[in-house]
Amino acid sequence: MCGIVGIVSQRNVVDDLLNGLERLEYRGYDSAGAAIFNGQSTKVLKSVSNVAGLKELVFNTETVGNVGIAHTRWATHGEPSERNAHPHVAGTLSLVHNGIIENHAALREELASKGHVFKSETDSEVIVHLLDEYIKSGLSRIEALKKATKVMHGAYGLVLLDESQPDELLIARSGSPMVIGLGDDAQYVASDQGSLRPYTESFIYLKEGDVAILRENEVQIFDTNGDEVKRDISIAEDDLADDGKGEYDYFMQKEMFEQPSVIGRLVRKHINNSGLIPGSGVEKIAKSLSSVQNIHIVACGTSYHAGLVAKYWIEKYAKIPCAVEIASEYRYRDVAVPDNSAFICVSQSGETADTLAALSKANDANYATTIAICNVQTSSMVRDAKEHLLTLAGAEIGVASTKAFTTQLTAFLLITFALADQNKTLSSAERESFLTALRDIPAQCEQALSLEQDIQEASFVFEHADSGIFLGRGAQSAIALEGALKLKELSYIHAEAYAAGELKHGPLALIDEHLPIVVNAPNDHVVDKLSSNIEEVMARGGRFVIFAAPGLDLPSKNAAIINMPKVSALTSPIVYTLPLQMLSYHVALLKGKNIDRPRNLAKSVSVE
């Protein structure tokens, strides 16, 4: 979840180092720091703020150098503070680390008994002292790093700078991604290739257990056996480089309004007026699932909610049983895999630690195939799955997911159509209606976004609230979960989501005249049941925001009813997501919260 950048060159690299780090700030923003070799010694600078604070510190100290490492932190061990900020130092060594060392306490105790003095509370500082101990015992730097990887338990992506050998950086990767960038006059390393895209399009993705030496004109890589190996060079062709906020005040705002465009791009990539485009990725996945009798979807957070919606679609239209599970639970339990089952994992970044572990487990199990639905072509998840489908959402910088979620839903809907078409479970009229609904999504999303003024006015129901409830039925119960998550992430207001039919089983006790209640009410087969559920709640108090299909006769006491565009019940989970995103956005603005960087969160959850 932290961000790492390192550069080796003969020129001054400070600006590139810090600009690259700034592009990773969405991965963690509790503190930032850098170690820069200036030709004579290593200068270590730390800021308990954002990267802009670190930049100011570097400018004020007139720091220059041709080799450097930098880090932006999301705290796991130890509070956000200068002493816990990276880089950590021992002797001539400076180190930055992403991940968690699970046996750090035992290693710390052992090293302390040998005279090592620790200045931080972090697990990361243990690594640099361990390396210092091995090097002082006579091992070379690379041999010390290889030995340390056999001793450390947990996840790590790390970069080491030694001022006694400042023409190289040492790198190790296990459970946390690291990528090397190949430049004309410099070599780069980072935890995410997006930070390096302004400088190079040529990348080497380190494999699990690799260690490497990075010099200005050379890269050496060693595998888990210690043997020197060559790794493929990949040329980046995606559009995941961050192009700024443009006309918008916040990345999240921009990304909400990009949804019609990116959804349209994904739909057009795979279908035309008559059906699936021959040879498209969705068609290939459907063929691989032709004999599958069960589908198992595994994901975390927002992506898990996308999987819950997919279950409704796949079972209704493709007639294939589907189970959905949280990755952090799946990876640690005994899973019974029915014959002819497929595994689908979902992640925006493709680096979510629990989902990657679940995929690894699935690859070793009795699944017919494993499929990744992901936004990043070069991610570990895409490389590790047997098949993949890219969501084509483009770079998503705001921590609260918007377009990544709706493109995941769109990807699942495309797969559902392909399976239903292949399995002949749709009538001719149903097939045509399905295709029409897919093509209509972008325009309907535009209409939903045009409701911003009404949504902004409705957001005042949360002005003094410290809790809220989101309701839905059918697939909308999963969208309610996503709406509640968005409100929690952005405004720090406690929120719960329920399938509306569950209210009588306990949640009605929460209702009073002050509680805000948000309801999605599309015109589907359960809308009458939902109307009765709304009546039950209104009889007990509450203040409502209802996103309703046009023409519905719904209870309206103490309710702001916002009329949605006319939408197919099939695609309503996608379109009805957008006003919930916008509602949470405006509540967060009302509360004065940090829209793009909510407290305690980071974009890519690359640690367990």
Q: Verify that 461 and 329 share a domain, yes or no.
A: no
Same domain membership, residue 83 and residue 183: yes
Instruction: Indicate whether 281 and 426 sit together in one domain.
Output: yes
All residues at 6 or more sequence positions from 413 whose CB lies less than 8 Å from its CB, including other chains: 313, 438, 570, 571, 574
> What does the chain come to in residues?
608
Q: What token pair was written down for 580?
A: 């919930």
DSSP designation for 243: -
Closest among 454, 405, 455, 399 to 583, alpha carbons compared: 455
Domain match, 86 and 205 both: yes
Last residue of a domain, one of 175, 201, 235: 235
CATH code for the domain in which residue 289 is found: 3.40.50.10490
247 Cβ partners below 8 Å, 6+ apart? none
- Residues 84-113 as b/e (b if ≥16 CB within 10 A, e otherwise) read bbbbbbbbebbbbbbbbbeebeebbebbee
**Using alpha carbons only, how large is the chain's radius of gyration in Å?**
25
DSSP 8-state symbol, 79: -
Backbone angle region of 337, left / alpha / beta, with phi > 0 → left and psi within -120 to 50 → alpha: beta
> Is 341 found in the same domain as 438?
yes
Give the domain-ending residue among 210, 235, 260.
235
Cβ atoms of residues 389 and 289 within 8 Å: no
* Beta carbons within 10 angstroms of residue 332's beta carbon: 12
In a shared domain, residues 136 and 49: yes
DSSP letter for each residue of 146-176? HHHHHH--EEEEEEEEETTSTTEEEEEEEBS
- DSSP letters along 186-202, please? EEEEESSGGGGTTT-SE
Q: How many domains does the chain have?
A: 3
> By residue range, what is the domain housing residue 442?
244-446
Rounded to whole angstroms, how far apart are CA atoms 16 and 5? Answer: 9
213 shares its domain with 293: no
Determine the Cα–Cα distance for residues 388 and 122; give it in Å rounded to an integer: 37
Task: Dig out the tokens for 597 from the structure.
Answer: 């960087």
One domain, residues 473 and 601: yes
Return d(Cα 46, Cα 85) in angstroms, integer: 7
Distances (CA, A) of 162 to 69, 140, 142, 179, 561: 11, 12, 11, 20, 63
Residue 88: what are its φ and ψ, rounded to 5°?
-100, 150
How many C-alpha atoms does 412 have within 13 Å on its Cβ side? 33
**Domain end marker among 446, 464, 487:** 446
Same domain, 87 and 227: yes
d(CA 127, CA 164) in angstroms, rounded, equals 18
Catalytic residue ranges: 2, 603
CB-based contact 580:478 (threshold 8 Å): no
Per the structure block, which two tokens stand in for 295? 């589908």
Where the chain has pLDDT below 50, the residues are: none
Q: Which of 438, 446, 441, 445 has its CA nearest to residue 277?
A: 438
The dihedral built from the CA positions of residue 102, 103, 109 and 115, taken in this order, carries a sign that is: negative
Same domain, 224 and 249: no
Which CATH number goes with the domain that contains 133? 3.60.20.10
Strands (E), 102-135: none
Say whether 15 sits in a helix, a strand or coil.
helix
| Gap between the Cα atoms of 168 and 558, Å rounded | 66
For 416, how many CA atoms within 13 A lie in the half-sphere containing its CB? 26
332 in the same domain as 294: yes
Residues 69 and 43 sit within 8 Å (Cβ to Cβ): no
Residue for token pair 């946390």: 176
Query: Are residues 95 and 9 both part of a single domain?
Result: yes
Q: What is the tens place of the pLDDT at every residue in 371-425?
A: 999 999 888 899 999 999 999 999 898 989 999 999 999 999 999 999 999 999 9
CA distances from 544 to 262, 278, 470, 486, 593 (A): 31, 47, 10, 18, 23
CB-hemisphere CA count at 13 Å for 147? 15
Taking a C-beta distance cutoff of 8 angstroms, is the pair 6, 188 a contact?
A: yes
pLDDT at 49: 75
In this structure, what token pair is assigned to residue 354? 């629990």
| Pairing status of strand 294-299 against strand 341-347 | parallel
pLDDT tens digit string along 322-331?
A: 999 999 999 9
Token pair of 561 as six digits: 């009813």
